[in-house]
Amino acid sequence: MSCLERCLLVACALVAVSVAVYAETDPAPKSAKDYGETYTEWFYQGELEKLYELFSSDMQAALPLDSLRAFREQAVSQLGVEKELLDESVTERDGFDVYLRTARFEKFDGAIHVVWSIDAEGIVSGFYVRPAPQLHKSSFLDYETKTELRLPFDGEWTVFWGGRTVEQNYHAQVRDQRFAYDLVVTKDDKTHEGDGKRNEQYFCFGKPVLAPAAGVVVAAEDGVPDNVPQEMNADRPLGNHVIIDHGGGEFSFLAHFKNGSLQTEKGSRVGAGDVLGLCGNSGNSSEAHLHYHLQNSQEFGNGDGLPAPFSAYVADGQPVERGEPVRGQKIKPQ
């Protein structure tokens, strides 16, 4: 699973038909929310020709009109009509507005996501309909973390994924990463300069990564090459990484270090704030970032994620004595 799952998928799973009717007399869409609602109604009602005309060339190549028709027809028998709108929101991602509609349908037990990625002119660059991700039902939601954690860096970083909902944090679907964070450095809401094709263009690449608390290093791996941005190494999911035993059954996982940058080794004792290595783009990572999570086992993929509240930091300019940062916040140590 990618730590930075940024690309919207072309429609490839379940779709559905709604009872909503689009009127030709409706005013033209004026916002991303208007576009998302209108395009959803067109899709539900089978107004596919005019919808297809607003697909980008890449979208038209990926989902030809005949395939779009077949895709919609398949939905009628699979889901039926939309019976309840649960939520809708718009976020900005990589220069596009992303409209997310969460709804329940007649024939499906569970929530469905309808997502459109739309540019400023209303051109569709991404579209999918699929079952909404489900939170992992953790038994540690009220767990009181014993280790006092500091942010694993100095300076201001941005929370790319973080929080307890799947909308804030796609990791929340996974047992061991239930409370994980992905952290980047942004400038003007961008993670890189230029075209982003080189790791050196990413603002966090090469920045020091620090131990969040004292402990013993129980795993330290180096030597995994950094990826070309947007390419990932699924065979080595953590890439270059460090795992720290803080005692009391709490283990910190820090992943995707720059190749050749680790400054610690297995068996070493580290103190809070010690430099472990440099931020990189190794492992199952699409761009330079720091992955951090706390769990109750030192074995990756085999343990329960634990809440990871940090102490003495600033979030969006406000001091926080102890808290769990969430997606979109800019955070730094006090």
The DSSP string of 142-208 is T----S-BPPSSSS-EEEEE-SSSTTT-GGGGSSTTTT-EEEE--BTTBSBSTTS-SGGGBTTTT-E
Domains detected in the chain = 32-131 (3.10.450.590), 157-333 (2.70.70.10)
Tell me: the pLDDT tens digits for 71-92?
A: 999 877 798 999 999 989 998 8
Answer yes or no: is pLDDT of 125 > 90: yes
Residue whose C-alpha is closest to residue 258's, from 210, 199, 211: 199
User: Is the predicted pLDDT of residue 201 greater than 60, yes or no?
Assistant: yes
- Is the pLDDT confidence value at 164 over 80? yes
Say what percent of the chain tops pLDDT 90: 81
Give CA–CA dist 49/119, Å, rounded: 19
Three-state DSSP at 13 gives coil
pLDDT in tens, 11-28: 333 333 333 333 344 555
Q: Which residues of 110-125 are buried (b: 16+ CB within 10 A; e: fewer)?
A: ebbbbbbbbeeebbbb
Chain position carrying tokens 């973080």: 162
**What's the length of the chain?**
334
Whole-model pTM: value is 0.73
Give the single-character DSSP code of 287: S
Phi-psi region of 120 (alpha: psi -120 to 50; beta: other; left: phi over 0): alpha
CA 259 – CA 212 distance, rounded (Å): 21
Residues 3/256, Cβ–Cβ less than 8 Å: yes
For the stretch 244-303, pLDDT in tens is: 999 999 999 999 999 999 999 999 999 999 999 999 999 999 999 999 999 999 999 999
